[in-house]
Amino acid sequence: MKKMWITLVVILTLLCGCQANENTNASDYGDDISKAQEIAVISPDTSKVIDTITDAEEIEDFILALNLDQWEFKPLPDEAFEIGSFGLAQEETIKLGQTDTDGTLYDIATITLYNGDYISFEIGGFDMTFEVSEDTVDYLNEYFE
């Protein structure tokens, strides 16, 4: 009887753990993005930082302009070319026993803008491509004009 219960628990664990969410939703990452304390605007030609956003209100406006709920998971077309990218950074999370951080910022995500309303979003070792709204693309393009 005990072996049957253990087998049942193992099977249920495997079945529940193997279910993958095929509909990748960018808004799931909204909390991670909103923790950004600095956004570096990076040129595609030189890979140099051409602007840095550090004002909390400007960062909030940037995140709102992304319209994460309108991103659709799509493959990047072969003819797409990079327009520029944004590096999001934040301080390390304060851990148990720490009272303060040292002020060092760590990269948390990268958003790369492509022509044709596409972006790639890299966070935590995952790289995903999305088609985004025209409003989002227009807003992001302003940083590279």
pLDDT digits (tens, 9 = 90+) for 101-143: 677 888 899 999 999 899 999 988 889 999 999 999 999 999 9
Residue 110 is assigned to a structural domain of this protein: yes
Q: Is residue 6 part of a domain?
A: no
Residue 127: inside a domain, yes or no? Answer: yes
Whole-angstrom Cα distance, residue 92 to residue 136? 29
Q: Would 11 be classed as within a structural domain?
A: no
The number of domains in the chain is: 1
> What is the CATH classification number for the domain harbouring 88?
2.60.40
In a domain, 3, yes or no: no
pTM check: above 0.85: no
65, part of any domain:
yes
DSSP 121: E
Residue 17: inside a domain, yes or no?
no
CA atoms of 101 and 85, how far apart (whole Å): 27
Query: What is the pLDDT at residue 18?
Result: 46
pLDDT at 19: 43
* Domain ranges, residue 110: 29-144
Mean predicted confidence (pLDDT) in 39-63 = 92
Which residue spans within 1-145 are E strands per DSSP?
A: 38-42, 49-53, 72-73, 82-91, 105-114, 118-123, 126-131
